[in-house]
Structure 1
């Protein structure tokens, strides 16, 4: 049986107008689907050149000519939705590790107008060690700076050749931050002042918020496609029906990217902050909090976690008691959104693997959960013990399931050294990990009682097992002891 490709599914040829940094499931189940909808329903007519931010392979993508199947499954207006379509909005993939010059050559394309990215929270960082001469630069901002400088030179600083840049990483003010990193990188490399002026004037960096659960490849769905459509698709992606794309940008961006004309749930807003905070802390925060707990209870998917008699109620109580009170939107809106998130977690069509969410868990906790923890301490002057338990479980997860953890090598080394160091007691482990500012952005041992609480919870988990530990957390026995921060 043949693999999906243009040989069996001819696709229209459109110009490459988009640089896409990120080849993972989310981008293919969200951004490339948006682009497909633009091409189908408007005069947009463009395709994306896809570049992995790390040492990812693009062989499968190119073997399938950029084509893959997207299966959208879930409920909308109480109606079951089960759509299947072939996404044709990717032209090709390029690896900067094997074809760096080909990557730079894309910058010379006069039709290029947009850049989308999702390199996870761990990818949107400033790495001072990057150099212009590197092939490639290790960081995403480094690669983008080199790419933009090549474009600046190729078009002699023409301000009409700037890009509209929409980073999709779940980082606060992601567009502003990426712009800051690119400018800092240019200064670090001592590039011409005219280039920095061009970055500021010719390019538009947009703050964004993305929301869709994209579990990725499904063996079951792939077998159905193979049987019913008669082709093999190694890049098939499953996604829920729900989607939201919030963009903070000048008015002209909405005209150039007419998502709403394509019937998409895209909001162009003046201030993205309230939307971002609610989504990241509720949906993504729940995901990150549940992963180490649920996986250590022997569960494998998000649906199994929320259906579990111990894990589900624990995560729901954590949200309602410790997360929602710190958010800006009205309480009734937050409760409605929380319920909608829970309904999406329970989607029987979506098999979202916990280990997929576990990728770069430390940086995700820092972005998604730590702000809720800190806000609670600021408001209540005591520790939010369920959020603290999710932190303790994460630290335990990096030890108990070390072989399954995927994270930056620096993070893995720090966690391993903490567990195997001179002071292997839980108090010593907690103190060493929580004091590491490179992990959390600050020394968390400054929070009164946190280090001891984490140590106590690690002992609880190790002594009784995760399931029993979660059960013991539910009667709020820590709070009744008056644990103060």
Structure 2
């Protein structure tokens, strides 16, 4: 079997190097690099990517052995049907080993056609490293590496403002572009790079905040043999992802002229404020994940797909999203409904086995950030409690009992949370009064919630009643009952 490279595959286009990318991992290759490939194939971007590895160098060397080529499998729901397709991504031109070829990195800074920087160095990657120095080859931190690169470019082009870059980090932290810029300016001060460089950073470069959304399981270990047979070549960098993707970039509209995703029909938006889109994702996608997990698992289900396809739990999830979460959000109703339907399609993706237990990690703090804001805003707007969000909170307390029937649940959370629930469930004597004491203790744990939830009118009573239903009748009967409440109102 031939190895994938530009000698074994004919007709591979070459493009000018317009993008510096920090990160060689699955996500960027299935997200940003794929979008650039789509634009190149539509003759809209005419640019390639140079990749550097934030830590180490071995993957970049292996990627170079394939001349930057790799195959992307898109697997998931498309137009309401499960679709599996693949495409050869040709947008990466080369990788640079910063430990052996640092001079090539500095030469790239002198490339007048370079225009963009993308990164995905994990949430911990955008951080200041005190020990970094300008003369290091390379610096340890990603922002340190980028600062050195920008300073070399600043010098090479004699402070020319037209040679600034558009910098779009994709790390999953809020205000990622602003945070990266802050740290670069911190290095500029620590390294005494001068006021003119600081002014060039501010005036010539555009730092964008971004929000990325695509599930990328990565290298398809389970199916790589059949994929290799199908492809007819050996590809060590095959990556699998879902069909869905969404890229929201907070930045000036003129960037679209240079990064014309809209002309390629890509779901990439340039907005003045991405906060509503972040809230939409956290509340609908992540919020539904967290709310469904204890209900679905205690019902006897194992995966997200099983849950959303289940006649009872599927209805619970859909009503939770459309009746209780969406009414608390401020984007246009059609846009929210479209996103929610996409989320449900993503949940039922037959190509991704997403286990409920794998998303149960730190569920209490997740409920605080993902679901509690919807619950409180629903009360604020509707003047009543949202039944399914409250029921999911009761189910969460039941889940943290650590039992599904006779089976132990392997709880994973902060030690203080686990101790709280262990102590409370240890006092349970089977009575509703005992359940109320557990509920009040949990709702009163301000360290987690940021407030005493016992102060929310009617919440303790409602959670106690739901918890009593779960404990006495079981999750199957309790979940069916909460669905009927909608009709009874």
TM-score, length-normalised on structure 2? 0.72
Indicate conservation of the 8 Å contact 1:208/1:245, yes or no. yes
Deviation at 1:221, TM superposition (A): 4.8
Indicate conservation of the 8 Å contact 1:373/1:387, yes or no. no
**Equivalent residue, structure 2, for 1:38:** 39
Deviation track 1:234-271 (CA, whole Å, cap 9, x = no partner) reads 32223333443333332431111122333323333444
**Equivalent residue, structure 2, for 1:258:** 260
Deviation at 1:280, TM superposition (A): 3.6
**Equivalent residue, structure 1, for 2:346:** 344
- Alpha-carbon distance between aligned partners in 2 of 1:298 and 1:103, rounded to the nearest angstrom: 56
> Structure 1 residues 446 and 76, CA, compared in 2 at 3 Å: closer, same or farther?
closer
**Equivalent residue, structure 2, for 1:212:** 214
Deviation at 1:87, TM superposition (A): 0.7
Deviation track 1:54-85 (CA, whole Å, cap 9, x = no partner) reads 56851543343322111224454457644321
Deviation track 1:387-426 (CA, whole Å, cap 9, x = no partner) reads 64687699899x9658xx8xxxxxx9xx3587589x9736
Deviation track 1:202-235 (CA, whole Å, cap 9, x = no partner) reads 1112233334343333346533332222223332
Indicate conservation of the 8 Å contact 2:312/2:479, yes or no. no
* Worse overlay, 257-266 or 303-312: 303-312
**Equivalent residue, structure 1, for 2:8:** 8
> Structure 1 residues 259 and 472, CA, compared in 2 at 3 Å: closer, same or farther?
same
**Structure 1 residue matching 2:180: 3-state secondary structure:** helix
> Structure 1 residues 186 and 226, CA, compared in 2 at 3 Å: closer, same or farther?
same
Long gaps (5+) in structure 2? 403-407, 427-440
Higher Cα Rg: structure 1 or 2? 2
> Structure 1 residues 72 and 298, CA, compared in 2 at 3 Å: closer, same or farther?
same
Indicate conservation of the 8 Å contact 1:174/1:208, yes or no. yes
**Equivalent residue, structure 1, for 2:226:** 224
Q: Does 1:448 align with 2:446?
A: no
* Worse overlay, 240-249 or 250-259: 240-249
Indicate conservation of the 8 Å contact 2:128/2:143, yes or no. no
- Alpha-carbon distance between aligned partners in 2 of 1:99 and 1:390, rounded to the nearest angstrom: 55
- Alpha-carbon distance between aligned partners in 2 of 1:312 and 1:102, rounded to the nearest angstrom: 56
- Alpha-carbon distance between aligned partners in 1 of 2:23 and 2:359, rounded to the nearest angstrom: 16
Deviation at 1:29, TM superposition (A): 1.6
> Structure 1 residues 400 and 226, CA, compared in 2 at 3 Å: closer, same or farther?
same
Deviation track 1:72-125 (CA, whole Å, cap 9, x = no partner) reads 2445445764432111112334566x56936853652413210122345x3365
Structure 1 segment 8-157 matched on structure 2, within 5 A: 8-10=8-10, 11-53=12-54, 58=59, 59-77=61-79, 81-94=83-96, 101=102, 104-105=105-106, 108-110=109-111, 111-120=113-122, 122-123=123-124, 125=126, 127-133=127-133, 140-157=142-159
Indicate conservation of the 8 Å contact 1:290/1:390, yes or no. no
**Equivalent residue, structure 2, for 1:482:** none
* Worse overlay, 160-169 or 290-299: 290-299
* 1:268 corresponds to which of 263, 267, 270: 270
Deviation at 1:282, TM superposition (A): 1.4
* Worse overlay, 128-137 or 337-346: 128-137
* Worse overlay, 205-214 or 225-234: 205-214
- Alpha-carbon distance between aligned partners in 2 of 1:254 and 1:164, rounded to the nearest angstrom: 11
Deviation at 1:163, TM superposition (A): 0.9
Long gaps (5+) in structure 1? 406-411, 437-442, 480-485
Indicate conservation of the 8 Å contact 1:20/1:50, yes or no. yes
Deviation at 1:382, TM superposition (A): 7.1
Tell me how large the CA RMSD over aligned residues is: 4.8
> Structure 1 residues 42 and 381, CA, compared in 2 at 3 Å: closer, same or farther?
same
Indicate conservation of the 8 Å contact 1:292/1:390, yes or no. yes
Indicate conservation of the 8 Å contact 2:39/2:45, yes or no. yes
**Equivalent residue, structure 2, for 1:425:** 423
